Amino acid sequence: MQRKLHHMASNQPREGRYMEESILDNQPIDLVLASTSPRRKQLFEQEKLRFRVLSAHVDETLDADLRARPFDAVQKLAEKKAHAVVNAILADENYRGFLVVVGADTMVARGGEVFGKPTSASDATRMLRALSGTSHYVHTGVSVWYCFAGEHESDFSLAYRSFTDTTRVTFRQLSSLDIETYLATGEPFDKAGAYGIQGSAAQFVQQLDGLRSTVVGFPMERFLHEFADVVQRVKLS
């Protein structure tokens, strides 16, 4: 069975014929997290969700216009990651079932500047100095793709829905010793903005406006609420 995936508008859910039928109520869900981030994996495990992890191999290069709009950029990248994993799974023409793939991407932004993962200790130092004593925004985009592949070519349906969640983070003033000590932990180097709120950088946070999980890398509370139909069916007993 050859399956061709088509892009759809992401501002609202799209439901195909088979997603509207009650037969899906009895279908086990194959939940896939399209991210190898240990923080996202831990958040899913903490909620006792039955899921598996697949890496999304995508080009994360953004054009200048989109990069200047991190709220939109993270959603676009989340969609690309989820789409890539859906395509990888459906490359197996024998795949049958109800597939739900979750993609996510996080960016840290302040005053028009986007802070990715630091490339070196000096880059991490630069980022932390820029964030010191100021407020910045952490945007996490989430894209959830539903796919049903039945026995026949006509038994195929695809839909997705995406959103971006934003948390405002205010850092206290950081001293050179604060930054040097934090760099020595090794924590900053695989994290957007050069810090992880779930680690020792929590001591830098003076105020948090929004979901902490969004800063960690996945707005779990919002996901649990907006996709309760999926969550209820993948909870481990």
Rounded Cα gap, residues 140 and 11, in angstroms:
16
**How far apart, in whole angstroms, are the C-alpha atoms of residue 143 and residue 43?**
16
- Burial class of residue 221, CB neighbours in 10 A (0-12, 13-18, 19+): middle
User: Which of 169, 197, 173, 200 shows the shortest CA–CA distance to 186?
Assistant: 200
CA distances to 160, 202, 219, 220 from 225, in Å: 16, 26, 10, 9
- What does the alpha-carbon distance between residue 119 and residue 115 come to, in Å, rounded to a whole number? 11
Q: So which residues are the catalytic ones?
A: 105
